[in-house]
Amino acid sequence: MRARGESGVDRVVYDRFFANATSGVMMDVGAAGPDFLSIGALFRDRGWRVIAIEPNPDFCQAHRAAGHEIYRYACGDRDADNVDFQVVDSHGAAYEGGAVSFEAFSSLQVKPAYRALVPDLDSRTIQVDLRRLDTILAEHAPDIDRVDILSVDVEGWELEVLAGLDFDRYAPVVVIAENLFGDRGYRRAMADRGYLLWRRVAPNDLYVNADRLSRTDRLRTLAGERLDGLLHFATRHG
């Protein structure tokens, strides 16, 4: 069983929270291709239902050719048709033993912090439908009443995507959220939903429903967050 997510984040989550599980439900938002840099691939190999969501038509075609369940949408906190989506071409740049095509930077709009990393991006604009996760589940997977894992990798738009899911209803055990710049606002947003930052596997944060953590894990996680807060304060105030 080969890890294919960045820094092996898929294997970290599976081994710690779902070891040997041969069924489950995962939502893979910003799924990219069916194999390279795919968090969903490992779970699909284990027999899970993986609901992939990806606005790039090339990636969608590759998933469909492989027989995967995939829906072509961008995700956010509202529903709208024919919105602009920027597809960024990285021209096969080397990364984690593979070649990046459209995976990096492609998003509803390349946010300034991302554009600053590579000022001269090669991009084109396409039209896609924007949907809340709740809307997608209601239309395409009405039989789903729980989500075990939610993975969101949308180049800085993660909080908007998370705002589109009813956490009380679907109650994912683990949320994998890309957080390239370590924005602490992600922790606050997830804490408001009852989730703790269990571990960071850069560039992803791993949030776990606090009710699913042992008392020891909760205490360790909270202690780590307090230490991070003190270090952040000391750094800012010298």
Per DSSP, the three-state class of 43 is: helix
What global pTM score does this model have?
A: 0.92
Closest CA to 183 of 203, 212, 211, 213: 203
* Averages of pLDDT over each 10 residues, the chain, 238 residues: 87 96 98 94 97 97 97 98 96 85 93 93 96 98 97 98 98 98 96 96 96 83 62 46
Judged by phi (left if over 0) then psi (alpha if -120 to 50, else beta), residue 111 lies in beta
pLDDT at 220: 78
pLDDT at 225: 66
**Domain 6-72+133-237 fold:** Rossmann fold (3.40.50)
Q: How many helices (H) and strands (E) does the chain have?
A: 9, 12
Residue 213 CA to residue 179 CA, distance in Å, equals 22
For residue 127, the surrounding DSSP H or E stretch is strand 123-131
What are the residue boundaries of the structural domains of the chain, listed by start?
Answer: 6-72+133-237
Q: Name residue 70's beta-bridge partners.
A: 52
pLDDT at 235: 47
